[in-house]
Structures are given as C-alpha cells and as structure tokens.
Amino acid sequence: MLDACAELLDEGGYEALSTTRVAERAGVAIGSVYQFFPDKRALSQALTRRNVELFVARVGRRFITDDFDGWWAAVDAIIDEYVELHRTVPGFRSLHFGDILDLDAVDAVADSGTVIMGRLRALLFEEFGLVDSEEVDRAILVAMEAGDAVLKLAFRHDPSGTPEILAEARGLVHGYLSRQLRPGAG
C-alpha cells in the first residue's frame, strides 16, 4: 500500500491522493487500507516515516563505513544521500520530512537522526574547535532547513535535480556553516 501511495504521490501530488486510489493501485479492498490507515494523511505519514528511516539508515551507513577528511565531506555525504533518494525512491520527492508530517511522531527515527547529527557535530567541533552551544545547534538547524528548501527547488522541474541548483544548495550549506562555525563564532 505504501508503494502504491508513493507512485500516486509522484504522479499527481498530495491533493490528488486518496485512499480509494491507493486501494485500487495496490490491488486491495478499501477495507484493507482503512484497517491500517484511516485517511490519506496517515498513509502519507507512514510513507514519510519510511522515507526518513531509509535516509537515516543510508546516512548512518556512510558515517560508519566512510572516513571523512573533515566536516565538508560529512555534509556532502548527507546531501549526496538526499539527492540520490530524490532520484531513485518513489514518493521521496513528493514528501519532505517536515511538510505533511510532524516529525515528533517518528521519535525512533528522530533518535537515529540525533545520532547522525551528533557525529556531524563532533566533526564540526573537531574541525573548528567549537564548544557545544545553542548557537552551533541553531547554525546546523538553519543550514539543514535552508539546504532542504534549495534542494526541493532543484527537483521542482527536473526529476534528476537541476545540476546548477544542486551546486547552489551545496554551496549555500558550506558557506553558511563556514561563516557561522568559524573559530570564535561558537
């Protein structure tokens, strides 16, 4: 059912999504859909949860297996995984982590995300000698939100992502973090 939901979201967006259409696409009775998902919002939340889990798992694997030369490489790994999922996973580009879903509903995923953010923060602290602070947390949050917005823009009209806008997203995140996290800034 979630695969059918993802396909329909890619085809027509959230407004065109319905539980009836998901049941038809999945080849199941509408009662089966309602057994697990009371409405299209619940379907979208479950799909978003699955996408967040996939993203966190892939970034987590990269953080375990890759040896980053510095925080730039760690940031690039996160961006690369996000871009790859947009390109290859049905429904990923239609649902963004903060759009339809309140991420407080995915506490287990948020905990995994916190582990990844902790690793990224540790790399930032090591690279710049920063101390843990609200300013550093805010800088990372702003960089993530701004990067997400520009990455969405890159995929708005090009399913592969407009290369120039993808480069701008990367430059935006790198530039912002460089300015905010320079020695003495945290």
Which tokens is 156 given?
Answer: 């708005």
Residue 184 has pLDDT above 70, yes or no: no
pLDDT value for 111: 52
pLDDT in tens, 74-114: 889 989 999 999 999 998 887 655 444 444 444 555 555 56
Q: In this structure, is residue 5 part of a structural domain?
A: no
Q: In this structure, is residue 32 part of a structural domain?
A: no
Q: In this structure, is residue 9 part of a structural domain?
A: no
Choice between 142 and 96, residue whose per-residue pLDDT is larger:
142
Residue 17 has pLDDT above 70, yes or no: yes
Q: Total domain count for the chain?
A: 1
Q: In this structure, is residue 72 part of a structural domain?
A: yes
pLDDT value for 186: 47
CATH number at residue 116: 1.10.357.10
Q: In this structure, is residue 85 part of a structural domain?
A: yes
Q: In this structure, is residue 2 part of a structural domain?
A: no
Q: In this structure, is residue 92 part of a structural domain?
A: yes
What share of the chain has pLDDT > 70, as a percent?
80
Task: Calculate mean pLDDT across residues 44-50.
Answer: 88
Residues of the domain holding 107: 48-180
pLDDT value for 145: 83
Task: Calculate mean pLDDT across residues 128-147.
Answer: 81
pTM value is: 0.80
Q: Which residues of 131-166 are buried (b: 16+ CB within 10 A; e: fewer)?
A: eeeeebeebbeebbeebbebbbebbeeeeebeeebb
Q: What is the DSSP string of the chain?
A: -HHHHHHHHHHHHHHH--HHHHHHHHT--HHHHHHH-SSHHHHHHHHHHHHHHHHHHHHHHHHHH---SSHHHHHHHHHHHHHHHHHHSTTTTT--TTTSS-GGG-HHHHHHHHHHHHHHHHHHHHHH-----HHHHHHHHHHHHHHHHHHHHHHHS-TT--HHHHHHHHHHHHHHHHHHTSTT--
pLDDT value for 185: 52
